Amino acid sequence: MSIVSKKEKIQQRKLPRRNDSFFNKLNTALSYPWRDSPFILNQFDYEKYWKELWREDVVVTSLYKYKLTLTAKIIEPGSSILDLGCGDGRLLKYLKETRNIEAHGVEFSRAAAEQAKANGLDVTITDLTQFSITAGLEYDYIILSEVIEHLSRPEDLLQKLHSKFKQNIIISIPNSGFILDRLRLLIGRFPRQWGWHPSEHLRFWTVPDFLFWCQRLGYRVDKFYGLKDEYYDIKLPLWKWYPRLFARHILYQLSSNQTDNANDNLLMSDSTNGLTGKRGA
């Protein structure tokens, strides 16, 4: 039987129980601005990614846990959905199960499209830069989930989508205004938003940049939401309270631009909680 001194008992009561998960994630977040990551030296193989690497990508899969439920709250039951860059179709599959949607997907990767089709989804395999919706055809919602940052000219795609949706376009992208990316810039490093190869992302936006960009393209951002990233989650929902600074990824809800000052209002305050912020923050 071990003997514990009175002094040791007092110390045990004062010291909180260590939460390894919390400290590990805190260390991950604090080391992000200075951290370098190795990348694939050969040309990035998108087909190989979907066949072998996708299931191991804990950063990407962690985002879906919150994104699925958030998107389902936005979508009305029974809606028609076009998911551009649908990947393996997990978002469409979830929406079919929870919101009884009419699902259509478009995907560049044959390997990803085959996975989506195996889940009973209607998927067209084509290059988004060459894609156009059939004249007269409309969907209730169009989704672009982690897609437009991979395109060199996403403006061309967004301009094609005018009058092709009845409710909203839903776009999720990385947030270049994320606090840890700002810290990287402060020490002379560029934001790191890729997972396997630096060529993955071609375009970058902060929240104010994206609002202005949409306005110029003839869209209005009705709402935007921070996405929970469990990889950097330290149990404080800062990503939800002030997403433009604390969310690593943002989900935007777009509609046709009906007023000239809609995005100017959003530039001054976060739509998710009413917090007021300065222009450009």
- Per-residue pLDDT tens digits for 131-182: 888 877 899 999 999 999 999 999 999 999 999 999 999 999 999 999 989 9
Structure confidence by residue, pLDDT tens digits, 64-94? 788 999 999 999 999 999 999 999 999 999 9
pTM for this model (two decimals): 0.80
Task: Flag whether pLDDT at 256 surpasses 60.
Answer: yes
- What confidence score (pLDDT) does residue 271 get? 47
> Could you tell me the two tokens for 190?
């560029």
Distance of CA 232 to the CA centre of its chain: 14
Stretch 120-141: mean pLDDT: 90
- What confidence score (pLDDT) does residue 39 get? 67
Among the residue ranges 14-23, 47-56, 250-259, the one predicted with the least confidence is 14-23
At 143 the three-state DSSP class reads strand
Stretch 245-266: mean pLDDT: 78
Report the C-alpha gap between 69 and 98 in whole angstroms: 9
- What confidence score (pLDDT) does residue 82 get? 97
Task: Flag whether pLDDT at 229 surpasses 70.
Answer: yes
Stretch 41-48: mean pLDDT: 72
41-175+200-268 has which CATH code?
Answer: 3.40.50.150
Please report which confidence band the pLDDT of residue 9 belongs to, taking 50, 70 and 90 as the band edges.
Answer: very low
Give me the residues paired with residue 139 across strands.
165
Q: How distant, in Å, are the alpha carbons of 103, 167, 168 from that of 140?
A: 11, 5, 7
Distance of CA 119 to the CA centre of its chain: 23
Please provide residue 40's backbone torsions phi and psi, each rounded to the nearest 5 degrees: -65, 130
- What confidence score (pLDDT) does residue 11 get? 39
Helix axis angle for 90-99 and 58-74, nearest 10°, is 30
